[in-house]
């Protein structure tokens, strides 16, 4: 009789709930542990939240040995940049994700811009600074808008589009002098603003071979019509019609292949490689790389995945992806993020969430910033839930998702009402 996998997922967000939910449906999985998880993973069938200090890699290793974990999947970027995969691999625990040297693709904007330049990967023109006076002088000569990025990890919030010199100087001062992002902002990248339409292109890689995931598009701005401050993402859908077969071929040939080939010389890239690209008049430029699945793109992508996720991850860890293929539900999926009022700035926690669970066919509510208090599910973060739906077309997926959204409520709940508008306007 075949032994089934025991899987540990690291993280507590909507992405990790979606990965755990999909993992638990695999025919080859026995148990899914999530550290630390959230209220959604706590209630998920076949999934168990565990309390481990995930910054203590030895504690994670000890847990894996005791529980006979056969696969670890690291959800968020910070443990990857900090070297969790290196530590677990050294302890001979199969861990899916890039090692620290490869995770620099997300961990350092300056590393990434230099890497793209060296490997002729199309991206925006840029300059990098750790000296404020030099940055301010450079901003005098710029055409606006420009984009200013903190070099290190800033939880999706270290990127600011500045509309004029005055705002540019304020943001650069904030980052370099006032230490707004701490270590992450000790160096900044100032780059040209790219016009066009953004899309997320994610592949699973074993360092040599890769398999594309289905395309998706995120909605970064907080408010309807793509207005308001940047967030971690207010909703997503898959597929993204802006990624035509011709555009997909360009992304693969001009971005994915040279990135994996270039990384093979530094540190072979194993894991989810996410290219955030700007598409304009048939041309593709890279905005950013992430070294893990996007959130909220993971949620609609996992709704569409039909293959066993553990088998794909283990094949990548073992360098055997060439022997695998991936199956998808042909129907589109759309997810709407329900956030706490005031996100991404100041928001309250602890509001009781009413209307869970939503029991509609092809609708799934993924939890992100939730916890259980006095046997009730309460808010515990900025992005609280992501309500996802499959539909025969995108309009139906959108209608189902919003029907789910409307049945859930808490004090000061906030969400966009136009997720999917770019695809639907086509």
Question: Distance between CA atoms of 319 and 252, rounded to whole angstroms?
Answer: 20
> pTM of the predicted model, to two decimals?
0.94
Average pLDDT over residues 152-158: 70
The pLDDT score that the predictor gives to residue 358 is 82
CA distance 35 to 74: 10
Rounded CA gap, 191 and 159, in Å? 11
The answer to whether 34 and 47 have CB atoms below 8 angstroms apart is yes
Cα–Cα distance, 233 to 315 (Å, whole number): 30
Q: Would you list the DSSP string of 287-316?
A: EEEESS--TTTHHHHHHHB-S-HHHHHHHH
pLDDT in tens, 175-215: 888 666 666 568 888 999 999 998 999 999 999 999 999 99
- Average pLDDT over the chain reads 94
Alpha carbon 221 to its chain's center: 15
* pLDDT grade for 174, boundaries at 50, 70 and 90: confident
- pLDDT grade for 157, boundaries at 50, 70 and 90: low
Question: Contact 69/291 with Cβ under 8 angstroms?
Answer: no
pLDDT for position 185: 61
Q: What is the DSSP letter of 417?
A: S
Mean pLDDT across the stretch 324-331?
97
């Amino acid at each position: 009789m075949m032994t089934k996998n025991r899987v540990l997922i690291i993280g507590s967000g909507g992405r990790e709930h979606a990965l755990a939910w999909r993992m638990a449906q695999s025919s080859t999985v026995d148990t899914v542990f999530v550290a630390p998880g959230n209220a959604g993973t706590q209630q998920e069938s076949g999934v168990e939240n565990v309390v481990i200090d995930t910054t203590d890699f030895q504690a994670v290793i000890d847990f894996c040995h005791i529980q006979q974990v056969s696969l670890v999947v690291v959800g968020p970027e910070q443990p990857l940049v900090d070297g969790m995969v290196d530590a677990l691999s050294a302890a001979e625990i199969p861990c899916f994700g890039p090692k620290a040297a490869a995770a620099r693709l997300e961990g350092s904007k300056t590393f990434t811009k230099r890497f793209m330049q060296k490997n002729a990967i199309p991206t925006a023109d840029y300059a990098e600074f750790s000296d404020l006076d030099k940055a301010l002088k450079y901003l005098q000569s710029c055409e606006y808008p420009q984009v200013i990025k903190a070099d290190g990890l800033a939880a999706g919030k270290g990127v600011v589009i500045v509309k004029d010199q005055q705002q540019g100087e304020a943001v650069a001062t904030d980052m370099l002098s006032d230490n707004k992002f701490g270590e992450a902002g000790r160096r900044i990248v100032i780059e040209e603003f790219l016009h066009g339409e953004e899309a997320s292109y994610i592949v699973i890689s074993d360092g040599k071979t890769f398999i594309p995931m289905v395309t998706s598009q995120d909605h970064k701005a907080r408010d309807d019509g793509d207005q308001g401050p940047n967030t971690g993402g207010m909703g997503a859908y898959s597929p993204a019609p802006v990624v035509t077969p011709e555009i997909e071929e360009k992304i693969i040939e001009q971005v994915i292949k040279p990135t994996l080939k270039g990384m093979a010389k530094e540190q072979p890239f194993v894991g989810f490689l996410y290219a955030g690209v700007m598409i304009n008049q048939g041309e593709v430029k890279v905005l950013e790389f992430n070294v893990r699945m996007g959130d909220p793109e993971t949620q609609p992508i996992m709704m569409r995945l039909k293959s066993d996720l553990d088998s794909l991850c283990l094949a990548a860890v073992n360098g055997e992806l060439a022997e695998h293929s991936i199956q998808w539900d042909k129907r589109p999926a759309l997810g709407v993020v329900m956030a706490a009022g005031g996100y991404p700035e100041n928001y309250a926690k602890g509001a009781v969430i009413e209307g869970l669970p939503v029991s509609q066919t092809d609708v799934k509510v993924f939890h992100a910033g939730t916890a259980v208090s006095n046997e009730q599910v309460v808010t515990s973060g900025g992005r609280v839930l992501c309500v996802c739906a499959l539909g025969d077309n995108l309009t139906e997926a959108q209608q189902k998702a919003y029907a789910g959204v409307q049945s859930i409520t808490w004090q000061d709940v906030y969400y966009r009402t136009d997720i999917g508008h770019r695809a639907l306007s086509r």
